[in-house]
C-alpha cells in the first residue's frame, strides 16, 4: 500500500476507531442523551464499513448491497432514536432525571 | 322394538345426573323429578327390550356411537357398546325398575334431609354406572362400570358423612372391595394377553368372541383355573362373598333406600352377574365351578346363622342378602345357571321390598333396634302386609316367588349328590325361614318388648310415596315366581340358560318337598320363639344357655376382629408406617433438597440483575470480545469472499 493511496484498510481503520469511541461513550457517560449519541456513532461506524466493503468490490454479484444496507441502517437508526427520545422524555417527566445510573427500577 | 334405541337406557340417567349437578342443584323438586323421569324413560325402553327378547330371543351387540372405538392404538381395540340378550334384558329391567321405585320412595323418605339433591344425583349416576356394567359387551367396559358403581356405593353409603360411623363404613366398603377388584383387573390383563391375537376382528376382551376360545386349548386347565379365580375375586368383593363379606353389613349406615337399591337388588348382584356373563370361562374348568359353589355355600350358611342373632333391623336384612347372594353363587357353582339367574331376578324384588319396608318402619319409629319395635302390624297395615309377603318369598314358601327360584337351585344341589352341599342347602333354607320370620314376628306382632322409644299412638302408616312402591314390589314379589315354575314350557329356564339348549331336567319333587318342609319348620320355630300368640320357648334363655354360639353369631363370627388384629394392625398399618417413613424421609428430603438448592443458587444469581444499563452493556461487549477471540484462535480462519 503506497502512501497517498486511500484503500479499504483506511476506511476500516476509521470505522473501528469510530466504533471504539462509541463503545467508550456508551460505557462511560451517565447522561442518557450521550448514550444515544454514542449508539449513533456505532451505527455510523458500521455504515462506513459496509459502504467501504461494497465500494472495494467485495461481493460482485450484488455490487450495491453494502450501500443499500447502509441506507436501511440510517432509516432504522432514525426511528430508534425517535422512540428512545420519547421514552427518555417520559422518564424525565416522571423521575426528573436522565442519568442512567439513577434509573434502576428494573433490578432484583 | 329396535335394539338401536337401547342407548337411551344409558344416556337418560347420565343426563339427569349432569343436569342435577350442573343446573338444578338448588331446586330439590325439579332435581328429584328429573331423576325419576329419566329412569322411567330408561325403564320403559328396558321393558320394551325385554318383551322384544321374550318374543324372539336374540344376541345383538353394537358399539355405542363414537365410543365403539373407545381406545384404538396399534392392533389393540377397546370398545364400549351395548349388548342385548335375554340375560342383559332381564337385568336392565331389574335395575331400572328398582331404581325408579326407590327414587319415588325417597321423595318422602329423604324429605328435608341434608344433601337431598346430592343424593338424587348420585342415584342417577349409580343407575347409569350399573347399566353400563350390565349392558357391557366386554371385560374392559365391565371394569369401567364395575369401578363406577363402587364409587357410587362409597358416595351413597357415606351420604351422612358427618357421622363417623357412616364415613368409616363407606371407606370400609370401598377398600374391602378393592381387594377383589385388583385381582379382577389382573385377570382381565391375563385374558387380554392370552386371547389378544385370536380375536379375529372383534374388539379386544369381547365376551361373545372370547366365549368360544376358552375350550380351544389356547390356555391350559391350570391357566383357565387361575383366570377364573381372578375374575371370581372381583365377584367375591362386589357380591360380598366370604372372605370379603365384611363390608356389606357395615354398608347399612347408608340411607335405607340405598340399601334397597345398591346393597340388595343391583350392585351386589353384579358379582353374580359377572360370573354368569363369563360362565363359559368357568364351565371350561370344572374345579373353578367347585370353588364358586363352595364359597357361595359357605357364605350363605354363615350369613344365615349370623342373621338370626342380629338386633338391628337393617343388619338382619343385610345378612339375609349375603345369604341369598351366596345361594346364587352356590347355584352357579353347581351348574344351576337358569335357577341362579331366576333367584337373582326374584331376590331383587323381595329383598328391595324388605329393605323399603324396613325403611318405612324406621321412618315411623325412628329406631333400628328390633327390640324397640313390636306390635307395628296394627298401626302400619300396608307395611306389615307387604313385608309379610316379602318374608314368605324370602323364606321360600310356596307359592311366593322366592320358593320357585330357590327350588331350582335346590334341585341342582340335590342332583350333585354331594352330601356337604345338600346339608348346606338344607341349613340355608332352615335359617332363612327362621331369621326372616323372627324379624317379622318381633317387629309386627305383639307389644314392644324392651322399652317404648316412641309413643305408640303417634305411629302411623307412611305416605303414598312410600306405600305405593311397597305395594308394587309386593305384587311382583308375590307373583313373579310363576314365570319360572319348574318344568313349564314357557318359563324363565326356557328364556335364560347357558349353552345351546335349555336345561331339560325333570322336576325334582324330593328337592321341592325337602326345601318346603324345612322352610316351614324354620317358620314354625320362629313362631314358637318370637310370635307372642304361639310362644312356647324363650329366646333369651336359649341364648344364655348356648352363650358361646350366640356370641359367635351375634358378633358375625368375629371376622371384623380377626381382620382388625391380623390384617389391619399386622399388615396394613405396618406397611403404612413403612410407606410413611419412606415418604417423609426419602421422597420429601429429595424434593426439599432440590428446592433449597435452587433457592440458594437463585439468591446469588439474581444479584446480576442490577438494573444498570451500562452494566449490561459491559457484559454484552465482553461477550462479543470473548467470542471474537475464540473464533480467531480456534476458528477455521473464515474469510470474506
- Which among A27, A58, A107 has the least Cβ separation from residue B611? A107
Distance to chain B for A107, nearest Cα, Å? 4
Tell me whether A58 touches chain B (CB under 8 Å): yes
- The per-residue pLDDT for B457 is 67
Cell of B507: 322336576
Among chain B residues, CA nearest to A107: B611
pLDDT grade, residue B637 (50/70/90)? low
Higher pLDDT, B517 or B553: B517
Q: Flag whether pLDDT at B218 surpasses 90.
A: no
CA distance B515 to B527: 18
Q: Flag whether pLDDT at B597 surpasses 60.
A: yes
- Which among B607, B613, B618 has the least Cβ separation from residue A100? B613
Among chain A residues, CA nearest to B602: A108
Q: Flag whether pLDDT at B639 surpasses 60.
A: no
Higher pLDDT, B68 or B505: B68
DSSP 8-state code for residue B505: P
Q: Flag whether pLDDT at B55 surpasses 80.
A: yes
List of chain A residues whose C-beta atoms are within 8 Å of the C-beta of residue B616: none
Tell me whether B641 touches chain A (CB under 8 Å): yes
List of chain B residues whose C-beta atoms are within 8 Å of the C-beta of residue A107: 609-612
- The per-residue pLDDT for B456 is 65
- The per-residue pLDDT for B487 is 66
- The per-residue pLDDT for B397 is 85
CA distance B122 to B153: 9
Q: Flag whether pLDDT at B275 surpasses 90.
A: yes
List of chain A residues whose C-beta atoms are within 8 Å of the C-beta of residue B607: 108
Higher pLDDT, A41 or B612: A41
Distance to chain A for B611, nearest Cα, Å? 4
Burial of A62 (0-12, 13-18, 19+ CB in 10 A): exposed
Among chain A residues, CA nearest to B605: A108
What is the pLDDT averaged over residues B544-564? 81
- The per-residue pLDDT for B535 is 78
Tell me whether B618 touches chain A (CB under 8 Å): yes
Tell me whether A1 touches chain B (CB under 8 Å): no
What confidence tens digit (pLDDT) does each residue in B4-43 have? Answer: 888 889 999 999 999 999 888 888 888 899 999 999 999 9
Tell me whether A26 touches chain B (CB under 8 Å): yes
User: What is the full DSSP assignment across B244-300?
Assistant: STTHHHHGGGS-HHHHHIIIIISGGGHHHHHHHHTHHHHHT-HHHHHHHHHHHHHHH
What is the pLDDT averaged over residues B321-327? 93
User: Is A58–B614 a contact, with Cβ atoms under 8 angstroms apart?
Assistant: no
What is the pLDDT averaged over residues B398-412? 86
Distance to chain A for B621, nearest Cα, Å? 9
- Which among A53, A100, A108 has the least Cβ separation from residue B614? A100
What confidence tens digit (pLDDT) does each residue in B494-522 have? Answer: 788 887 777 666 677 888 888 888 889 98
Q: What is the Rg, in whole angstroms, of the alpha carbon atoms belonging to chain A?
A: 18
Tell me whether A106 touches chain B (CB under 8 Å): yes
pLDDT grade, residue B351 (50/70/90)? very high
Q: Of B62-66, B231-235, B467-471, B503-507, where does mean pLDDT reach its minimum?
A: B503-507
Question: ipTM score of the complex?
Answer: 0.84
Nearest CA-CA partner of B64 in B152, B17, B18, B5: B5
Among chain B residues, CA nearest to A57: B641
Cell of A42: 456505532
- The per-residue pLDDT for A20 is 94
- The per-residue pLDDT for B607 is 84
How large is the angle between the packed helices B313-333 and B270-277, nearest 10 degrees?
A: 10
Tell me whether A108 touches chain B (CB under 8 Å): yes
Q: Flag whether pLDDT at B570 surpasses 90.
A: no
List of chain A residues whose C-beta atoms are within 8 Å of the C-beta of residue B618: 27
Distance to chain B for A26, nearest Cα, Å? 7
Distance to chain B for A102, nearest Cα, Å? 8
pLDDT grade, residue B91 (50/70/90)? very high
Q: Flag whether pLDDT at B640 surpasses 60.
A: no
Q: Of B135-149, B202-216, B412-426, B626-640, where does mean pLDDT reach its minimum?
A: B626-640
Distance to chain B for A5, nearest Cα, Å? 22
List of chain B residues whose C-beta atoms are within 8 Å of the C-beta of residue A23: 621
List of chain B residues whose C-beta atoms are within 8 Å of the C-beta of residue A58: 640-641
What is the pLDDT averaged over residues A21-31? 92
User: Is B609–A107 a contact, with Cβ atoms under 8 angstroms apart?
Assistant: yes
Mean pLDDT of chain A, nearest integer: 88
Phi, psi of B603, rounded to the nearest 5 degrees: -60, -40
Q: Of A64-78, B319-333, B549-563, B611-625, where does mean pLDDT reach its minimum?
A: B549-563
Instruction: Please give the model's pTM, rounded to 2 decimal places.
Output: 0.78
User: Is A104–B610 a contact, with Cβ atoms under 8 angstroms apart?
Assistant: yes
- The per-residue pLDDT for B594 is 94
Q: How many percent of chain B have pLDDT more than 90? A: 42
User: Is B612–A101 a contact, with Cβ atoms under 8 angstroms apart?
Assistant: yes
User: Is B640–A53 a contact, with Cβ atoms under 8 angstroms apart?
Assistant: yes
Mean pLDDT of chain B, nearest integer: 87
- Dihedral angle computed from the Cα positions of residues B57, B61, B65 and B66, in that order, rounded to the nearest 10 degrees: 170
Nearest CA-CA partner of B396 in B309, B513, B294: B513
- The per-residue pLDDT for B206 is 87
User: Is A26–B614 a contact, with Cβ atoms under 8 angstroms apart?
Assistant: yes
List of chain A residues whose C-beta atoms are within 8 Å of the C-beta of residue B621: 23, 27
User: Is A108–B609 a contact, with Cβ atoms under 8 angstroms apart?
Assistant: yes
- For residues B35 and B125, the answer to whether their CB atoms sit within 8 Å is no
Nearest CA-CA partner of B129 in B107, B153, B105, B110: B153
CA distance B314 to B321: 10
Distance to chain B for A2, nearest Cα, Å? 23
**Distance of CA B571 to CAs B64, B563, B566, B568, B585, Å?**
43, 10, 7, 6, 21
Distance to chain A for B593, nearest Cα, Å? 24
Cα torsion angle, A79, A84, A86, A89, sign: negative
Q: Flag whether pLDDT at B530 surpasses 50.
A: yes
Cα torsion angle, B435, B436, B437, B439, sign: positive
**Cross-strand partners of B138:** B206
pLDDT grade, residue B641 (50/70/90)? very low
What confidence tens digit (pLDDT) does each residue in B572-593 have? Answer: 888 999 999 999 999 999 999 9
User: Is B640–A58 a contact, with Cβ atoms under 8 angstroms apart?
Assistant: yes
Nearest CA-CA partner of A34 in A77, A73, A88: A88
Test the A interface: residue of B611, B615, B620, B623 with most A CBs within 10 Å: B611
- The per-residue pLDDT for B370 is 82
Burial of B113 (0-12, 13-18, 19+ CB in 10 A): middle
- The per-residue pLDDT for B154 is 93
Amino acid at each position: 500500500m503506497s502512501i497517498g493511496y486511500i484503500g479499504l484498510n483506511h476506511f476500516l481503520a476509521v470505522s473501528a476507531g469510530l466504533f471504539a469511541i462509541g463503545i467508550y461513550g456508551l460505557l462511560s457517560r451517565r447522561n442518557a442523551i450521550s448514550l444515544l449519541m454514542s449508539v449513533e456513532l456505532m451505527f455510523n461506524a458500521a455504515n462506513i464499513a459496509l459502504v467501504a466493503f461494497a465500494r472495494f468490490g467485495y461481493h460482485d454479484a450484488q455490487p450495491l448491497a453494502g450501500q443499500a444496507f447502509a441506507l436501511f441502517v440510517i432509516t432504522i437508526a432514525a426511528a430508534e432514536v425517535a422512540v428512545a427520545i420519547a421514552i427518555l422524555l417520559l422518564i424525565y417527566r416522571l423521575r426528573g432525571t436522565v442519568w442512567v445510573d439513577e434509573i434502576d427500577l428494573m433490578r432484583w | 322394538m329396535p335394539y338401536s334405541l337401547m342407548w337411551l337406557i344409558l344416556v337418560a340417567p347420565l343426563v339427569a345426573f349432569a343436569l342435577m349437578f350442573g343446573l338444578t342443584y338448588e331446586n330439590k323438586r325439579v332435581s328429584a323429578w328429573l331423576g325419576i323421569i329419566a329412569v322411567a324413560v330408561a325403564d320403559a325402553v328396558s321393558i320394551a327390550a325385554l318383551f322384544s327378547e321374550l318374543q324372539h330371543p336374540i344376541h345383538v351387540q353394537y358399539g355405542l356411537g363414537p365410543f365403539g372405538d373407545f381406545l384404538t392404538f396399534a392392533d389393540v381395540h377397546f370398545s364400549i357398546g351395548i349388548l342385548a340378550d335375554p340375560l342383559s334384558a332381564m337385568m336392565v329391567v331389574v335395575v331400572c325398575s328398582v331404581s325408579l321405585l326407590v327414587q319415588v320412595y325417597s321423595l318422602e323418605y329423604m324429605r328435608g334431609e341434608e344433601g337431598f339433591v346430592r343424593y338424587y344425583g348420585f342415584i342417577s349416576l349409580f343407575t347409569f354406572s350399573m347399566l353400563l356394567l350390565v349392558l357391557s359387551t366386554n371385560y374392559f367396559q365391565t371394569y369401567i362400570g364395575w369401578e363406577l358403581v363402587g364409587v357410587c356405593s362409597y358416595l351413597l353409603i357415606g351420604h351422612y358423612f358427618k357421622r363417623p360411623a357412616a364415613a368409616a363404613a363407606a371407606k370400609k366398603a370401598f377398600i374391602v372391595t378393592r381387594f377383589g377388584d385388583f385381582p379382577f383387573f389382573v385377570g382381565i390383563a391375563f385374558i387380554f394377553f392370552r386371547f389378544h391375537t385370536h380375536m379375529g376382528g372383534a374388539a379386544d376382551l369381547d365376551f361373545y368372541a372370547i366365549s368360544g376360545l376358552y375350550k380351544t386349548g389356547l390356555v391350559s386347565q391350570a391357566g383357565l383355573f387361575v383366570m377364573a379365580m381372578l375374575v371370581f375375586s372381583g365377584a367375591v368383593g362386589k357380591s360380598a362373598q366370604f372372605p370379603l363379606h365384611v363390608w356389606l353389613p357395615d354398608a347399612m349406615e347408608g340411607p335405607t333406600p340405598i340399601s334397597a337399591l345398591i346393597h340388595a337388588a343391583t350392585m351386589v348382584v353384579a358379582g353374580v352377574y359377572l360370573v354368569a356373563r363369563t360362565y363359559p370361562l368357568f364351565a371350561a374348568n370344572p374345579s373353578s365351578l367347585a370353588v364358586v359353589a363352595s364359597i357361595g355355600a359357605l357364605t350363605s350358611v354363615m350369613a344365615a346363622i349370623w342373621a338370626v342373632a342380629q338386633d338391628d333391623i337393617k343388619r338382619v336384612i343385610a345378612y339375609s342378602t349375603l345369604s341369598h347372594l351366596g345361594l346364587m353363587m352356590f347355584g352357579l357353582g353347581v351348574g344351576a345357571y337358569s335357577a341362579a339367574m331366576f333367584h337373582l331376578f326374584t331376590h331383587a324384588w323381595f329383598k328391595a321390598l324388605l329393605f323399603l319396608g324396613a325403611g318405612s318402619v324406621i321412618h315411623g319409629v325412628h329406631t333400628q333396634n328390633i327390640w324397640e319395635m313390636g306390635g307395628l302390624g296394627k298401626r302400619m297395615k300396608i307395611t306389615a302386609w307387604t313385608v309379610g309377603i316379602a318374608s314368605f318369598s324370602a323364606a321360600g314358601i310356596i307359592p311366593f316367588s322366592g320358593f320357585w327360584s330357590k327350588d331350582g337351585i335346590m334341585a341342582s344341589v340335590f342332583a350333585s349328590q354331594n352330601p356337604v352341599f345338600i346339608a348346606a342347602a338344607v341349613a340355608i333354607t332352615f335359617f332363612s325361614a327362621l331369621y326372616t320370620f323372627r324379624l317379622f314376628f318381633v317387629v309386627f306382632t305383639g307389644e314392644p318388648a324392651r322399652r317404648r322409644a316412641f309413643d305408640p299412638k303417634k305411629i302411623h302408616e307412611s305416605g303414598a310415596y312410600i306405600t305405593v312402591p311397597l305395594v308394587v314390589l309386593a305384587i311382583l314379589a308375590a307373583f313373579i315366581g310363576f314365570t319360572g315354575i319348574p318344568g313349564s314350557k314357557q318359563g324363565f329356564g326356557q328364556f335364560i340358560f347357558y349353552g345351546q339348549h335349555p336345561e331339560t331336567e325333570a322336576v325334582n319333587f324330593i328337592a321341592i318337598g325337602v326345601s318346603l318342609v324345612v322352610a316351614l319348620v324354620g317358620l314354625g320355630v320362629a313362631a314358637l320363639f318370637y310370635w307372642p300368640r304361639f310362644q312356647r320357648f324363650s329366646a333369651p334363655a336359649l341364648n344364655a344357655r348356648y352363650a358361646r354360639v350366640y356370641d359367635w353369631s351375634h358378633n358375625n363370627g368375629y371376622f371384623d376382629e380377626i381382620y382388625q388384629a391380623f390384617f389391619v394392625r399386622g399388615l396394613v398399618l405396618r406397611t403404612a408406617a413403612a410407606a410413611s417413613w419412606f415418604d417423609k424421609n426419602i421422597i420429601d428430603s429429595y424434593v426439599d433438597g432440590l428446592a433449597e438448592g435452587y433457592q440458594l443458587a437463585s439468591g446469588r444469581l439474581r444479584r446480576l440483575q442490577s438494573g444498570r444499563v451500562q452494566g449490561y452493556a459491559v457484559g454484552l461487549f465482553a461477550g462479543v470480545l470473548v467470542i471474537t477471540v475464540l473464533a480467531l484462535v480456534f476458528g477455521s480462519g473464515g474469510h470474506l469472499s
